[in-house]
Amino acid sequence: MISQFFILSSKGDPLIYKDFRGDSGGRDVAELFYRKLMGLPGDESPVVMVTTGGGGWRHHDDRHFIHIRHSGLYLVATTSENISPFSLLELLSRLATLLGDYCGSLGEGTISRNVALVYELLDEVLDYGYVQTTSTEMLRNFIQTEPVVSKPFSLFDLSSVGLFGAETQQSKVAPSSAASRPVLSSRTDQSQKNEVFLDVVERLSVLIASNGSLLKVDVQGEIRLKSFLPSGSEIRIGLTEEFCVGKSELRGYGPGIRVDEVSFHSSVHLDEFESHRILRLQPAQGELTVMRYQLSDDLPSPLPFRLFPSVQWDRGSGRFQVYLKLRCDLPPKSQALNVRLHLPLPRGVVSLSQELSSPEQKAELGEGALRWDLPRVQGGSQLSGLFQMDVPGPPSHGPSTSAPPLGLGPASLSFELPRHTCSGLQVRFLRLTFRPCGNANPHKWVRHLSHSDAYVIRI
């Protein structure tokens, strides 16, 4: 049960404010929350906060603020009860997804353009602070307001229009903004495409010891579905047949794709899962996490990156040299994008000179760390960078020249691997069993993506 719900922009301006129970002070709560959040001492967590006695004495005015941050916005709920934090946090993130579904995407601009829609949604989702329903399907019947979508003019749109009607390359790829449109816009615009987006997204966290041995591998995977199909259509998702769950099970003869734990969305029918690894579901419009899985410790494919550092350190002159060799162990056809290496340096490093293996790379110093940006790394390639730094200050005693200085490392990498899953899980097929009346075949988009959560290499 929540008393109030509000959305603040990243600067603290209230965008949406809704009081469900009228049992606590007015709109200044939002301001109070933001002030409290900004003035929080470093060792306290901002997730839950309490105010005691903000308003008059008459109310026992204890309010717990619980908030999540989502795409730069603060979604805050207040309650005066000792409520389950898990439910509340889940509710807030569900609200964020819902708002995203209805307004196209979640952001300061979309929220302030669609204020009426947001209030209408909140009215339906929550009644007197209790959850009514959060299912997109049920809410569809009640929501009348049309979302306002702004379409920024872009040259890319023009370029996809072929000369003399010729089909160009671009039209075979979904524009990146295709998935961020509201689910409801089809009400008036019948010509809207029926589309379904399926993403297999994996987050990889890895810890590699200084001698190169692997200390920790952890993959968190999700299959996310965003559907614009009319409800009632059934979707069948076929996963890799060698997919197996748990340590003991073994399927097929090749190297199995093994995960430790799997959980499915409650609307998924699993009757064909055991035999053919097929998930069957009738999704409501909007976004949905079909399946979550985790995998730790043994990975079927080699790790995407290996780092071979060598450090030379001359204490006498304060000269300090780091040679980094980065090897990408992806298959030659794949590539990694937006690779960034972050290496904390000893205090007091001032100047940097660099020798990089290709011109598109960039390296700079900032916040006591070295940042090395590699926009694109091809599988199987090897890149290197030589960095020389000066550490001014009194030359300290001790003749060690080879031992790495304290305060250096560990290096962390962040990257994206399009069309690659670390666990090896693939979507074999995506079939729709519905007959659209008079409409062309629905478009199906399947993406595989891995990105780094924490990829740490000790030096």
Partner 1 sequence: MPYLGSEDLVKELKKALCNPHIQADRLRYRNVIQRVIRMSKLDQWGQAEVLNFLLRYQPRSEEELFDILNLLDSFLKSSSPSVVMGATKLFLILAKKFPHVQTDVLVRVKGPLLAACSSESRELCFAALCHVRQILHSLPGHFSSHYKKFFCSYSEPHYIKLQKVEVLCELVNDENVQQVLEELRGYCTDVSADFSQAAIFAIGGIARTYTDQCVQILTELLGLRQEHITTVVVQTFRDLVWLCPQCTEAVCQALPGCEENIQDSEGKQALIWLLGVHGERIPNAPYVLEDFVENVKSETFPAVKMELLTALLRLFLSRPAECQDMLGRLLYYCIEEEKDMAVRDRGLFYYRLLLVGIDEVKRILCSPKSDPSLGLLEDPAERPVNSWASDFNTLVPVYGRARWATISKCQGAKHHGPELPNTASFATSGTLIPEENKETIQELPDSGALMLVPNLQLTAEYFEKTWLSLKVAHQQVLPWQGAVHADTLQMALQVVNIQTIAMSRAGARPWKAYLSAQDDTGCLFLTELLLEPENSEIQITVKQNEARMETLNSFISVLETVIGTIGNIKS
Residues that bind partner 1 (CB under 8 A): 1, 42-48, 50, 52-53, 57, 60, 62, 64, 66-69, 81-87, 89-93, 127, 130-135, 203, 205, 207, 215-216, 218, 220, 261, 263-266, 292, 294, 296, 342, 344, 347, 367-369, 396, 406-407, 409-410, 412, 414, 453-454, 456, 458
Closest approach, Cβ 361 to partner 1, in A, equals 20
Q: Quick one: 44 or 274, whose CB is closer to partner 1?
A: 44
Q: Quick one: 30 or 259, whose CB is closer to partner 1?
A: 259
Closest approach, Cβ 411 to partner 1, in A, equals 10
- HSE at residue 120, side-chain half, CA atoms within 13 A, is 16
C-alpha 88/C-alpha 96 separation (Å) is 12
Closest approach, Cβ 172 to partner 1, in A, equals 31
Closest approach, Cβ 161 to partner 1, in A, equals 37
C-alpha 355/C-alpha 362 separation (Å) is 10
Cα 177 to the chain's mean position, in Å? 16
Q: Quick one: 210 or 351, whose CB is closer to partner 1?
A: 210
Closest approach, Cβ 222 to partner 1, in A, equals 8
Q: Quick one: 49 or 114, whose CB is closer to partner 1?
A: 49
Q: Quick one: 66 or 257, whose CB is closer to partner 1?
A: 66
Within 8 A by CB and 6+ apart from 175, the residues are 156, 157, 160
Closest approach, Cβ 98 to partner 1, in A, equals 13
Q: Please, what sign has the CA dihedral across residues 257, 260, 266, 269?
A: positive
Backbone dihedral angles phi then psi of residue 391, each to the nearest 5 degrees: -115, 100
Q: Quick one: 86 or 253, whose CB is closer to partner 1?
A: 86
Query: What are the Cα distances from residue 61, in Å, to 50, 75, 431?
Result: 10, 21, 54
* Cβ–Cβ < 8 Å for 322, 309: yes
C-alpha 339/C-alpha 373 separation (Å) is 6
* Cβ–Cβ < 8 Å for 282, 290: no
Cis peptide before 410, with omega less than 30 degrees from 0? yes
Q: Containing H/E element for 103? A: helix 85-103
Q: Quick one: 63 or 277, whose CB is closer to partner 1?
A: 63
Rounded to 5°, the CA angle 417-422-423 comes to 150
Query: What are the Cα distances from residue 303, in Å, to 307, 327, 457?
Result: 11, 10, 12
Cα 294 to the chain's mean position, in Å? 16
Q: Quick one: 114 or 412, whose CB is closer to partner 1?
A: 412
Closest approach, Cβ 346 to partner 1, in A, equals 8
Query: What are the Cα distances from residue 59, in Å, to 17, 50, 94, 155, 178?
Result: 20, 15, 31, 57, 49
Q: Quick one: 32 or 194, whose CB is closer to partner 1?
A: 32
Closest approach, Cβ 199 to partner 1, in A, equals 13
Q: Quick one: 263 or 433, whose CB is closer to partner 1?
A: 263
Q: Quick one: 31 or 261, whose CB is closer to partner 1?
A: 261
Q: Containing H/E element for 109? A: helix 108-113
Closest approach, Cβ 454 to partner 1, in A, equals 3
Closest approach, Cβ 406 to partner 1, in A, equals 5
Q: Quick one: 116 or 403, whose CB is closer to partner 1?
A: 403
Closest approach, Cβ 150 to partner 1, in A, equals 28
What own/partner pairs with CB < 8 Å and gap ≥ 24 does 142-147 have?
Answer: 143/102, 143/117, 143/184, 144/120, 145/114, 145/116, 145/117, 145/120, 146/117, 146/184, 146/185, 146/187, 146/188, 147/102, 147/103, 147/104, 147/114, 147/117, 147/182, 147/184, 147/185
Within 8 A by CB and 6+ apart from 206, the residues are 214, 216, 217, 218, 303, 452, 454, 455, 456
